[in-house]
Structure 1
Amino acid sequence: MLALRVDADTVSRTRLSPSPASECMAWLKLTAASRRHPVFGDPGPLARASLAHPDVALLADLLPQNGDTYTPDLLTPQPGTDAQRRDLLDEQIAQIEATAQDDLETQVFTHTRTHWSRPLRATTRRIAESGRMQRRLANGLALFWRDALSDCWPELRSILDQDIAHRATAIATHGVGRAIGALHPDIDWAGDAVTLAKWGDGEIDVTGRDLVLAPSVLNWPHVIIQVDVPGQFVLYYPAQRVGASRDRSSRGIAPVVGNARAALLADLETARSTAELATRIGYSPGTVSYHLNALHRARLVTKVREGRYVLYQRTAQAARLLEEPRD
């Protein structure tokens, strides 16, 4: 268990905020690795095309690969305090551009050497040493956001805002400690520390820092901490109700096809892989595959191969079954 030691000052300065930069990095990481999000699926052709820009490619080259976990904190600056959240992204982009050269070199050279299984590319190293990396990373984030996330941000922000409202009510009703302990099964409150299960044994002193609780949609379902930059402490946790709309739409058909198949059909308005569906509805991939095969035989889902994935999507007949009211 990892313990993040706090004090009364940290507790008193705890706040909730989304992090557009963190959402952008999560989407870019999926895009660069040709992977799909378990809820939102394929990042899409516009996101992939954006990788052709050298500044976006540079940004992607600083993201972890092949099981590495470290992301330089300068790419996801601690969210500010703009109450309207209109300028959060612009503020974070400005923070990236203003990163001190010493801080950049510590994160890009020293921390990646410690935490990555691959060496930093020589071209990336030269750009970092030139002093031009900050501006190029800021530009890369702005470009990828424009191309890949700006259109869908209102939908994502709505999920984040609903989560923040829920957590703010929990803090007002039950206090900071209980609210933190309810963020995720791996997160708990020990009175003088935030504890994280499955993070190994250790202790980090974060006393005197602001604690920013940042709900995340595109990092879902992972928990991430950001403590390497002095004075910063960000705890990213999965926002609640990601993909929860399927629960409502599947209730009517569940008595006919069963709960598992109803949940699958409700989730298949968008084409999804077996692995995505297993993550979303909480069944093993083998169980999901069994039910998908039955639904395919009944002509309630279609399946097509796209690269290394087989994607399933409900048919018009299945959509009508979901829409029919039932007693």
Structure 2
Amino acid sequence: MIRIELDEAALGATRIAMSPLRDAFCAAHLQLPGRAPSWPYQEWAGHARAVWREDDRLRPLWELFTEGPPGVSDFLMPRPLGTPDVYEELDQLRATDPAFVRAQVAVCYPGMGEEPFLRPYLTDPQAACAALADAYAAWWEEAIAPCWPVMRRLVEDEVLLRARTFATEGVDALFGGLESRARWERPVLELTKYIDAEYAAGERRLVLVPLVFAEGCRLYSTDDPEVLAVSFQARGAAALRERTPGPADGGDRLGLLLGRGRAAVLRELAGPLTTAGLADRLGLAPSTVSEHLSLLAGAGVVTRHRVGRSVYYQLTDTGRSLLALLAGEGVLGTAAA
């Protein structure tokens, strides 16, 4: 169990940031021996498994993943930048302080410094980190990049939803709805992990990182002296799966009333989403989703608001009531953001 104490100053400094490199890391964990990808990842894993096993450019990643202990060093995953560009994070990896790399090898791989796969990180850390970044880039380009447009929308939607929850409902709502492996009892955030650790208030600022592939490996990063990064599962990972048919019309009262497509759109709007985000999740054309949203907005069951260049939709009280009455979904207690 990990216990993180957060005083008012620490709570005020808490941030939510995306990290494509951490998603790539967790996706790689799904390829390890003995791992059985769960339902949302199975279709993706079929292609990715061949990349992981057959692309020799990934050797620096293979070795760190398979030759050493299960712990994760921060030189494998630098501090989250909040960028959607994985290559910015890879540049950060290439620029890792050699002294930090050597120190991390000693901490995370005790007594293994003479192992061939680790020796480059001690003798020439800069070149070793560059090779590791190149391996990450190859993994990204072959296995992750084709999915990234969908993944990016899912993560950006998650960041927006969590930020709005934090701003409008407070930290209790933010941490209370984080995920099943996290428990918040003010002033302590507890994380279920196989190690025990405690962090006092004010030691580091907390960064929450939503990941599509968090199911591959929940990350908890502590080696950074200023930042404590904790990942959690972003909603919508099912967008990676092969599309499956929805419920039969005879048992779907909401679908009978609104039509199956419009009912599916309404069900997805538990939190703010864009037209493109909904289209990705539902496997529908953006034009079709846009038409459904226009009709639902005209009926007063969804509302829209603009954030920068994007328009986000969410349920109104009427929409939540409609779902609760006809779909049997417990959404009446969800406060409007």
TM-score range, shorter chain: 0.5 to 0.7
- Aligned to 1:212, the other structure's residue is in SS state strand
Cα distance change on mapping 1:198 and 1:98 into 2, 3 Å: closer
State the shift of 1:154 in Å. 0.8
Matched, 1:5 2:5: yes
CA distance 1:199–1:52, shift in 2 (3 Å): closer
Change (3 A) 1:80 1:254: farther
Indicate yes or no: 2:101 matched with 1:104.
yes
SS at the partner of 2:189? Answer: strand
> Could you tell me which of 87, 90, 102 is aligned with 1:90?
87
Instruction: Tell me the TM-score normalized by structure 1.
Output: 0.65
Contact 2:58–2:136 (Cα < 8 Å) also in 1: yes
Q: Does 1:146 align with 2:141?
A: yes
Aligned mates of 2:251, 2:3 — CA distance in 1: 46
1:136 Cα shift? Answer: 0.7
Counterparts of 1:1-327 in structure 2, within 5 Å, are 1-33=1-33, 35-38=35-38, 39-41=40-42, 42-45=44-47, 48-49=50-51, 52=54, 54-63=56-65, 69-81=70-82, 85-87=83-85, 89-113=86-110, 122-131=115-124, 132-197=127-192, 199=194, 201-205=196-200, 207-220=202-215, 223-243=218-238, 249-252=245-248
The answer to whether the Cα contact below 8 Å between 1:64 and 1:71 also exists between their aligned partners in 2 is no
1:214–1:130 Cα change, 3 Å: same
Instruction: Decide whether the 8 Å contact of 1:5 with 1:194 is kept in 2.
Output: yes
Deviation, 1:171, is 0.9
Counterpart Cα distance in 1 of 2:235 and 2:117:
37
CA contact (8 A) 1:47 1:147 kept: no
Conserved 8 A contact 2:17-2:208: yes
Deviations 1:151-179 (A, max 9, x none): 11111112212222221221122112330
Distance in 1 (alpha carbons) for counterparts of 2:52 and 2:244: 36
| Residue type at the aligned position of 1:63 | F
Change beyond 3 A, Cα 1:231–1:51? farther
Count of matched residue pairs: 247
CA spacing shift, 1:187–1:46, aligned 2, 3 Å: closer
In 2: Cα distance, 1:206 partner to 1:135 partner: 35
1:165 counterpart letter in structure 2: L
Q: Which moved more, 1:101-110 or 1:91-100?
A: 101-110
- Partner of 2:303 in structure 1? none
Are the counterparts in 1 of residues 84 and 152 from structure 2 also a CA contact under 8 Å?
Answer: no
Q: What's the C-alpha RMSD, in Å, of the aligned pairs?
A: 3.2
When residues 75 and 200 of structure 1 are mapped into structure 2, their CA distance, relative to the original with a 3 A threshold, is closer
Letter in 1 for 2:215: W
Counterpart residue number, 2:330? none
1:248, 1:168 → 2: CA distance?
31
- After superposition, the Cα gap between the structure-2 partners of 1:254 and 1:184, relative to the gap in structure 1 and judged at 3 Å, is farther
| Cα shift at 1:198 | 5.2
For 2:6, the aligned partner's letter is V
Q: 1:31 & 1:201 partners in 2: Cα distance?
A: 26
Distance (Å, rounded) in 1 between the aligned partners of 2:195 and 2:93: 30
TM-score (norm 2): 0.63
Match of 2:259 in 1: none
CA gap 1:253/1:106 in 2 versus in 1, 3 angstroms: farther
Q: CA deviation at 1:5?
A: 2.2
Aligned CA distance change for structure 1 residues 15 and 220 (closer, same or farther; 3 Å): same
SS in 2 for 1:63: helix
Greater alpha carbon shift after TM alignment, 228-237 vs 41-50: 41-50
Determine the C-alpha separation between the residues in 2 that align with 1:250 and 1:92: 39
Classify the secondary structure of the residue corresponding to 1:123. Answer: coil
Deviation at residue 121 of structure 1 after TM alignment: 7.5
Q: Secondary structure at the match of 1:211?
A: strand
Give the 3 Å change call, closer, same or farther, for CA 254–127 of structure 1 in structure 2.
Answer: farther
Judged with a 3 Å threshold, the aligned counterparts in structure 2 of structure 1 residues 213 and 54 are, in CA distance, closer, same or farther, namely same
Sequence identity of aligned pairs in percent? 22
Q: Which whole-Å CA distance do the structure 1 matches of 2:196 and 2:122 have between them?
A: 35
| Matched letter for residue 248 of structure 2 | G
Any stretches of 5+ residues in structure 2 without a counterpart? Answer: 253-337
Amino acid at match of 1:169: R
Gaps of 5+ in 1: 257-327
